[in-house]
């Protein structure tokens, strides 16, 4: 019977590509096919009749193979794809799937084991390498994702910062474009009198100390010029000085101008706009005519000065800024506080370092220097050549009390240059002598200002703004002039 099986096995063995072994019940090799010999590099004369564990110099004494064969004999089990991994001395590592079953059951006396061996080394290597590649790639992708997430977060943070800086830069650019349109009284603080030298000393004293400054003085004394000098000597000089005239805007627009607004915050808010505080972040904000700030806006200004925080109109997001405040006014704020028109706590906050600018009438020694400076500047702009300033003209200029101060002086000189046909300066304004002004010293500043503004308005037949108007002669913004007229109860009709 065994012989018949062997003959059948020999007839079909070469048609099967997988290595095959036939074992007897003692686990000795009865027969093997050519694929077995080729795959495992063994010879038939050293294979048949040998115990499988002794095959190849006992290289086949494999624990997993013993486990398989010791189970199949007593239990008559069928094993499919029983994986065995072993390193052979002559052929290296092999990964094998074993399929084993008993054949020729009872009543046949001789029982055999058919052992089919599938060499899956290359497949397993590929599979394991693929798994390793997948694992490695997954780890790489996870790391890349984490890095991408970090980069995305950093990019979003950077983008937000760029947007903020861009918006601030755009606001500053627009602000500077508006500032370029303005013509300032003079490019430098001109003078050598004791009064103006003291102001120079005060500027140097406070410039690089990051504290609030309150500049006091009459209209036209150069409060903005001093504010610019303080800023330009400070640690914030690399940024533009941002300015807002509190008297030049309607009260309902001041909050938006100071703190900005979101799109849709009110009817005409078609886009988001940064206010002066955001524009001045890291720089200096000059609040001119601070005494004109509406009472309901003063607590909001105080809050920003105290903690550097505010909210745009239409937004609940708190914005933090670092802004130095320089404020200026021609009002007596202490009196305004007593009369309930200015908050006491805001006045204390502003009045850290007050500076009072001297009026031009207290700087008579500076008038010749100022006259020379303005005559040269105005002549150059108008294409004139004024070389001679008569002594009587200079004497008259020094005797006049200049209620409009330096701004009024510039306007008087410009009219004089326009009307001078030759190299000699001719005044066209009838300036009162010193004695006439002395009589007015008993009057209040408001009374003197009211009288002077009324006189100018009558001279121009009630024309407040435009060419040859009261605003032009006085050197005032038309909104400021109208505000002063309202405060002083001046009502002049055009004639």
The 3-class SS string of 275-309 reads CHHHHCCCCEEEEECHHHCCHHHHHHHHHHHHHCE
- The CATH number of the domain holding residue 66 is 3.30.450.20
pTM of the complete model beyond 0.75:
no
Buried b (16+ CB within 10 A) or exposed e, 57-71: eebbebeebeebbee
**pLDDT in the model for residue 288:** 94
Residues 382 and 328 in one domain: no
Residue that terminates a domain, selected from 337, 356, 375:
356
pLDDT tens-digit readout, 371-380: 999 999 999 9
**pLDDT in the model for residue 447:** 78
Residue that terminates a domain, selected from 65, 88, 119:
119
Q: Please indicate, yes or no, if residue 179 is contained in any of the structural domains.
A: no
Residues 334 and 277 in one domain: yes
Residues 351 and 370 in one domain: no
**pLDDT in the model for residue 342:** 94
Q: Which domain holds residue 226?
A: 194-356
Q: Please indicate, yes or no, if residue 163 is contained in any of the structural domains.
A: no
Spatial neighbors of 309 by CB under 8 A, at least 6 apart, are 303, 318, 319, 320, 321
**pLDDT in the model for residue 283:** 93
Residues 352 and 429 in one domain: no
Residues 43 and 67 in one domain: yes
CB contact at 8 A, 82 and 100 = yes
Residues 310 and 380 in one domain: no
Judge residue 275's burial from the number of C-beta atoms within 10 Å of its C-beta, 0-12 exposed, 13-18 middle, 19 or more buried. Answer: buried
Residues 201 and 336 in one domain: yes
Q: Please indicate, yes or no, if residue 461 is contained in any of the structural domains.
A: yes
pLDDT in tens, the chain (495 residues): 555 555 556 656 656 778 888 888 888 888 888 888 888 888 878 888 889 888 878 888 888 888 888 777 666 666 677 888 888 888 888 888 888 887 765 555 567 888 888 878 777 666 766 677 777 777 877 887 888 777 777 777 777 777 676 666 666 655 554 554 343 333 478 888 989 999 999 999 999 999 999 999 999 999 999 999 999 999 999 988 999 999 888 877 888 889 887 876 666 666 778 888 988 999 999 999 999 999 999 999 999 999 999 888 888 888 999 999 999 999 999 999 999 999 999 999 999 999 999 999 999 999 999 999 999 999 998 888 888 899 889 999 999 999 989 999 999 999 989 888 788 898 888 886 444 444 444 567 677 778 878 888 887 788 888 877 888 777 778 888 888 888 888 887 655
Cα separation, 124 vs 122, whole angstroms: 6
CA nearest 326: which of 189, 195, 184, 226?
226
Structural domains of the chain, count: 3
For 427-435, the CB contacts below 8 A with 24+ separation are: 427/393, 427/396, 427/397, 431/396, 431/397, 431/399, 431/400, 432/400, 432/401, 433/396, 433/399, 433/400, 434/399, 434/400, 434/401
Residues 378 and 447 in one domain: yes
Residues 278 and 218 in one domain: yes
Spatial neighbors of 451 by CB under 8 A, at least 6 apart, are 440, 443
CB contact at 8 A, 6 and 30 = yes
Q: Please indicate, yes or no, if residue 134 is contained in any of the structural domains.
A: no
Q: Please indicate, yes or no, if residue 160 is contained in any of the structural domains.
A: no
- The CATH number of the domain holding residue 288 is 3.40.50.300
């Amino acid at each position: 019977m065994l012989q018949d099986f062997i003959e059948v096995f020999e007839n079909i063995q070469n048609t099967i590509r997988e290595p095959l072994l036939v074992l007897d019940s003692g686990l000795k090799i009865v027969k093997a096919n050519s694929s077995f010999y080729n795959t495992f590099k063994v010879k038939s004369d050293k294979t048949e009749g040998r115990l499988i564990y002794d095959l190849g110099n006992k290289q086949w004494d494999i624990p997993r193979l013993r486990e398989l064969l010791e189970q199949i004999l007593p239990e008559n089990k069928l094993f499919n794809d029983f994986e065995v991994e072993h390193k052979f001395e002559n052929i290296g590592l092999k990964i094998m799937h074993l399929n084993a079953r008993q054949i020729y059951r009872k009543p046949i006396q001789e029982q055999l084991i058919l052992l089919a061996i599938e060499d899956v080394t290359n497949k397993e290597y590929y599979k394991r390498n693929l798994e390793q590649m997948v694992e490695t790639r997954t780890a790489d992708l996870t790391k890349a994702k984490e890095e991408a997430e970090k980069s995305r977060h950093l990019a979003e943070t950077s983008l937000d910062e760029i947007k903020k800086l861009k918006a601030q830069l755009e606001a500053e650019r627009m602000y500077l474009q508006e500032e370029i349109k303005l013509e300032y009284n003079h490019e430098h603080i001109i003078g050598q009198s004791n009064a103006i030298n003291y102001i120079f000393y005060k500027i140097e004293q406070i410039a690089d100390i990051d504290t609030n400054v309150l500049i006091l003085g009459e209209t036209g004394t150069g409060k903005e010029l001093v504010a610019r000098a303080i800023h330009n000597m400070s640690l914030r000089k690399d940024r533009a000085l941002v300015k807002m005239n509190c008297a030049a805007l309607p009260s309902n627009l001041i909050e938006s101008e100071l703190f900005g607004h979101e799109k849709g915050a009110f009817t005409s808010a078609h886009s988001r706009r940064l206010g002066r505080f955001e524009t001045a972040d890291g720089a200096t904000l000059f609040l001119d005519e601070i005494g004109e700030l509406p009472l309901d806006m003063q607590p909001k200004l105080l809050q920003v000065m105290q903690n550097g925080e505010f909210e745009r109109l239409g937004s609940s997001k708190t914005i933090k800024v670092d802004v130095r405040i320089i404020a200026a006014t021609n009002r007596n704020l202490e009196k305004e506080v007593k009369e309930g028109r200015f908050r006491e706590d805001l006045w204390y906050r502003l009045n850290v370092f007050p500076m009072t600018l001297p009026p031009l009438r207290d700087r008579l020694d500076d008038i010749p220097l100022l006259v020379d400076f303005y005559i040269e500047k105005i002549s150059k702009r108008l294409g004139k050549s004024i070389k001679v300033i008569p002594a009587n003209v200079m004497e008259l200029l020094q005797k006049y009390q200049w209620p409009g101060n330096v701004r009024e002086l510039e306007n008087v000189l410009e009219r004089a240059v326009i009307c001078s046909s030759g190299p000699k300066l001719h005044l066209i304004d009838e300036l009162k002598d010193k004695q006439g002004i002395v009589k007015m010293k008993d009057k209040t500043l408001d009374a003197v200002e009211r009288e002077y503004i009324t006189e100018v308005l009558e001279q121009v037949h009630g024309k407040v703004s435009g060419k040859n108007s009261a605003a032009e002669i006085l050197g005032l913004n038309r909104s400021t002039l109208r505000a002063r007229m309202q405060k002083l109860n001046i009502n002049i009709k055009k004639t």
